[in-house]
Chain A
């Protein structure tokens, strides 16, 4: 029995199953200016890979996400960020986004999340290792995040 059809079938199966990362972000209750939240991936040595999603469209304030801005400087275009930017999450509300994760699940990556509110807190040290068989992570009560469910689709 020829193995070639099996190999081709397997290859097509792999090609169709492009991995994805889904972030379901829920914010705490609050008032005033809504916080900006950004998620990106970098290598374990700190090398910037790419932005997963920016929960804001106010480009003039992107620079205030200082950790993310410094990491992506010279590595990612503004157009690339615009493509993954969306509405700011309202207080006590949630948003769910799904992004391609091709090349991000190799086991040497780290998920970074930064949150900042105008004249409020600035949370920038959150790092979550991404292993090859990573199934995601559940973040609870961190800064302005009530919960963030990060899951992987394969």
Chain B
């Protein structure tokens, strides 16, 4: 404001609305350029200093226009004079020899001495290199935008599937993320089956929990305690048994197909998983198993359907080994003494997750034992529905087994029950 007033007073009858700092323009060599300085006043005559090759000057309007041909930086001085004095507008023109982001605006159609009203803006400039240097970090593209299409409304929610009900999923958490899950499996008559009891907070509240953490990209660790049991069944020793199953799994995502489009194009999400289940018995002793597997999952139909297949191997824990006769005679169920001595179970895992909309999903999952311990009990099955807010997931499921620990699903099953188990889980992503 003050600068503008100073120009007015000094110039007398000449009103010069120009700033006192030079304009800066950048244009590619051979491209159109035009500039008209903004002077207003009666009886103006215009003049110009030297011009770069390719540019011409219109003395009637003061416009400089043309196609500069030689790269370089030029200062162009345009003067306007009347009986009140002379004012000068200087512009600095940088002519580059390559396509550059910082291109000049579209050429002016006419000189413009009046205030410019807000108008429809010109077409956008083409993609450009950063001004001021080439050491800036690159953009991080969202792979969901890689296809150029708008995000599907369920896209993000599908990416947050870390673990299914029985088995790990193939997608790892983003680096630094946490999630936790609380879950409950029950049936109407808990007293009839001690195997429906989860973590024994009290006789009626059985809650399992799971924690997940991704310390670095593509690596996720989970800890869960699900099969805490209060067994009122006396063993051969006459002592009631209590034990908890703690499980730690590490997942390394080898392939990430996020953003890949097309029915069968591109790779899938692929992870390898390894871990252990640790059974703590009421006298304090415990033992571990070795659990490994590989899982692949693929999004189909614009991420609406996610199908998974896995091959898993879970080793018998000391408890199972004990009742199987391969370990020390510690705690046993009377009806399991002398059972097969296979050291573990191999199972095929199948998962499906179908988006009904942005928030609602149908879930289906199966762990099918194909070799080893407890294969005669058939597959573990679960189906249900979930509501996903992207930060939380609320799921209700029906299952034929109370075992939801990875190891327990494969090595036990506990599928003797005629009625399905009702389960719910609440998962929160942090």
Contacts and interface: CB of A to CB of B under 8 A. Distances in A.
Given A46-B132, A110-B131, A120-B144, A131 B105 contact: yes
Interface in B278-296: none
Given A29-B153, A152-B116, A11 B5 contact: yes
Given A31-B153, A122-B140, A107 B23 contact: yes
B338 to A, nearest CB: 52
B102 A129 contact: yes
Contacts of A121: 139-142, 145
Given A121-B142, A151-B119, A154-B115, A132 B19 contact: yes
B1 A28 contact: no
A22 to B, nearest CB: 7
Interface string B94-124: 0000000110110010001001111111111
B174 to A, nearest CB: 5
B141 A137 contact: no
B265 interface: no
Contacts of A138: 121-124
A14 interface: yes
A125 B136 contact: yes
B118 A22 contact: yes
B151 interface: yes
Interface in B2-57: 4-5, 8-9, 12-13, 15, 17-19, 21-26, 35-36, 38
Looking at chain B's contact residues, the main secondary structure is loop
Contact of B121 (A11, A122, A124, A149): A149
A115 to B, nearest CB: 9
Contacts of A20: 118
A100 interface: no
B418 interface: no
Interface stretch (B154-162, B184-192, B407-415): B154-162
B218 interface: no
A3 interface: yes
A96 interface: no
Interface in A132-146: 132-141, 143-144
A3 B13 contact: yes
A126 to B, nearest CB: 9
B130 interface: yes
Interface residues of B, number: 65
A106 B25 CA distance: 12
A48 to B, nearest CB: 12
B358 interface: yes
A137 B155 contact: no
B121 A136 contact: yes
B142 A120 contact: yes
Nearest to B141: A121
A133 B112 contact: yes
Contacts of A107: 19, 21-24, 91
Contact of A28 (B4, B101, B150, B157): B150
Contacts of A106: 19, 21
Nearest to A128: B125
A104 B71 CA distance: 28
A153 B155 contact: no
Given A10-B15, A124-B136, 19 more contacts: A14-B1, A28-B150, A30-B151, A31-B152, A31-B153, A31-B154, A44-B131, A44-B132, A46-B132, A67-B136, A92-B150, A124-B139, A129-B131, A132-B18, A133-B36, A133-B38, A134-B105, A136-B122, A141-B148
16 contacts: A14-B4, A22-B118, A29-B153, A32-B157, A46-B131, A123-B139, A123-B140, A124-B136, A124-B137, A129-B102, A131-B24, A135-B122, A138-B122, A139-B124, A149-B121, A152-B116
